Chains A and B, each alone.
Chain A
Amino acid sequence: MQASRARPLVSFGGLYFGLAAAFLYLPILLLILFSFNDSRTLVFPLREFTTRWYAELLHSPELLRSLGNSLWVGLLSSLVATLLGTMAAIAIVRFRFRLQGLFMAVSTIPLVIPSVVLGVALLLVFAQFGVPLSLLAVGIGHTILNIPYAMLIVAARLAGFSNHLEEAGMDLGLTYWGTLLRVTLPISAPALLAAFLSSFTTSFDEFAVAFFLVGTEATLPVYLYSQLRFPSRLPLVVALTALVMVTSILIVLGTEWLQRRSLSTRRRSA
């Protein structure tokens, strides 16, 4: 349907998307701009061009280490949250079971609870069971925050897409679990990606839970938040942010480019 119709180069939708992206990226562009500005405050007019904040960044091992920690916590906790959320979503959408209402209520409550409460509650429980405060503890906290999102997103995708495809899979001799892996999950891929992205994003910028659960390794938001106590450290933080943003965008664009290339070579060889 899409291919069959000639479309104008710039559609309304494309324009709207562009505007939204501009709106979202405006502050980011500003931060990137100021990361090269020779001033410790973010005020116009700009002063001289400098790369000293990036140089200083290299001499802030704690800052870089906390960035690494956050990446790990974000990736692993989002994987776990997406996995568990997906399992819960399949159970809720595809089956009827006792206490289903209760299960749904309980698994959505983490959304309702202010994160600071979850942080303190987990602190108390971990202390009771002798779980040391650490990145692991933070990661567990983040899975709790993210399971409801993952569940909602995947459930929204599964709800309604009829299970004829799954039935077809089973009729073709796949086991139930084989069908889940080969049919259901691939169909849900966009939802899984959405759930993962949403979880990662939450985790990467979360500090209310993290503050109560970090041990001797800090996550980036924990470190940043405390760094903002020192106005003189602001440019470093800005430079780091600019670096993270540019890298992420490059990775995404690069992946897209690779995919397209492999797609076109496959077409050519076909």
Chain B
Amino acid sequence: MTNRLPALAASLLCGVFLLGCAQRVDQLVVLDWAGYELPEFWAPFADAHPDVTVDYSFFAEDAEAYAKLQTGFEADIVHPCSSWWGLYVENDLVQPIDTAKLSNWSGVHAELAQMGSFDGVQYFIPWDWAYESILVRTDKVAEVPDSWADLWNPQYAGHVALWDSGEANFAMTALSLGIDPWTATPEQSAQVQERLVEIKPNLLTYWVDYAEMAQMISSGDLWLASNAWPDAYGLLLDEGVPVEYIQPIEGRLGWVCGYGIAKGAKDVELAHEFLNALLAPESMAFLTNQYYYGAANADSIPLADPYVIELLSLDDPAILKQTIFYQTLTDAQRQFMTSMWDEVKAAP
């Protein structure tokens, strides 16, 4: 009897506030990176709700998504990466996720799940993750590097490219100096900046987008690409280009992005169902096969292409502990890293 009360209350409310009920949503707006809109990623949801259209709004930089939400863009689901999560929570842009409603939650790697939890409340479900490491054109180099610090090695002079990202370069350089990127003191930060300026004579260029970087490696002009992602590695291997994706002694960096439910989501239940569909092992296996990214849900591993799993050691339980994931940044940290990187680039 008691558990029928909420339903009764709901129907009563419906009668009074007719509008609220009529607004039974038939649309879900997802603020996402382009390329993530493939229906294979949420097939179970489409099966269960054929009447709901899923509309994507794309962004190219985390900052754009954040700015749009901050200025009142009405999305239901958002997909930022880990270094932005804290900012979303702090500014009240997302709402708690009830993981009990997610039947696929049990398989999610605890390390990744932990990153999306703030003060014990789950605000983001981790979804896609990948390494960042040095991609090496093995037939061009005399010696395959084994450390982030090797990017500075003059034997590669003129054939190294750094990613045009302050955050990535700060993290990578800090690691090469034995500094923790996320707790660096101002002195240590200054040290990182100085070290980055020193790398400039070694560089061919900075790389901006992945297609371009993969292109420069396959043409042979670029030997060492810093902070490359595993999809470029897989692609170049497929194309028969001799490349190696190294395991630096300081550890590979790793990014993880995840989905959150926006504060103004029209239908929170529906949003949960969508997240659950995203986490389905089949959806996540498709992600691994399609883009060579790691899947947050370990249950997807048996369903994914064994070649990819093996290539990237995705089934190694220790791998997540060895990977140094980007931590959430404060506004001040991000501004510092961007300005620092601009100063490095502008240094004569």
A and B directly contacting (CB within 8 A)? yes
Chain A positions within 8 Å of B, measured between CB atoms, are 39-43, 62, 120, 123-124, 127, 133, 207, 211-212, 214-216, 218, 222-223, 225-234
List the one stretch of B96-104, B147-155, B159-167, B207-215 in contact with chain A: B207-215
Q: Contact: B214 with A41, CB < 8 Å?
A: yes
Q: What's the minimum C-beta distance from A58 to chain B, rounded to whole angstroms?
A: 15
Q: Contact: B59 with A211, CB < 8 Å?
A: yes
The interface residues of chain A lying within 8 Å CB-to-CB of B56 are: 62, 216, 218
Q: Contact: A62 with B235, CB < 8 Å?
A: no
Q: What's the minimum C-beta distance from A42 to chain B, rounded to whole angstroms?
A: 6
The interface residues of chain A lying within 8 Å CB-to-CB of B59 are: 211, 226
Q: Contact: A223 with B71, CB < 8 Å?
A: no
Given contacts A41-B235, A226-B33, A226-B35, contact A234 B60 (CB under 8 A): no
Starting from the known contacts A43-B219, A133-B68, 17 additional A-B residue pairs (CB-CB under 8 Å) come to A39-B239, A124-B71, A127-B71, A211-B60, A211-B61, A212-B67, A216-B29, A216-B56, A222-B58, A222-B60, A223-B58, A226-B33, A226-B35, A226-B59, A228-B211, A232-B231, A232-B235
Q: Contact: A123 with B33, CB < 8 Å?
A: no
What CA separation (Å) do A127 and B58 show in the bound complex?
18
- What 6 A-B pairs have minimum CB-CB distances, sorted nearest first? A226-B34, A216-B55, A127-B71, A231-B214, A228-B209, A228-B211
Q: Contact: A41 with B231, CB < 8 Å?
A: no
Q: Cβ of B57 < 8 Å from any Cβ of A? A: yes
Q: Interface extent on B, as a size class?
A: 35 or more
Q: Cβ of B342 < 8 Å from any Cβ of A? A: no
The interface residues of chain B lying within 8 Å CB-to-CB of A62 are: 34, 37, 56
What CA separation (Å) do A41 and B57 show in the bound complex?
28
Instruction: From the candidates B73, B211, B291, name the one contacting A234 in the complex (CB within 8 A).
Output: B211
The interface residues of chain B lying within 8 Å CB-to-CB of A225 are: 34, 60, 209
Q: What's the minimum C-beta distance from B236 to chain A, rounded to whole angstroms?
A: 7
Q: What's the minimum C-beta distance from B204 to chain A, rounded to whole angstroms?
A: 17
Q: Cβ of B232 < 8 Å from any Cβ of A? A: yes
What CA separation (Å) do A232 and B71 show in the bound complex?
34
Given contacts A127-B71, A216-B55, A228-B209, contact A211 B64 (CB under 8 A): yes
Instruction: From the candidates B35, B71, B238, name the one contacting A227 in the complex (CB within 8 A).
Output: B35
Per-residue interface assignment for chain B, residues 94 to 137, with 1 indicating a CB less than 8 Å from any chain A CB and 0 otherwise: 00000000000000000000000000000000000000000000
The interface residues of chain A lying within 8 Å CB-to-CB of B67 are: 120, 123, 212
Instruction: From the candidates B68, B215, B241, name the one contacting A212 in the complex (CB within 8 A).
Output: B68
Q: Contact: B235 with A226, CB < 8 Å?
A: no
Q: Cβ of B218 < 8 Å from any Cβ of A? A: yes
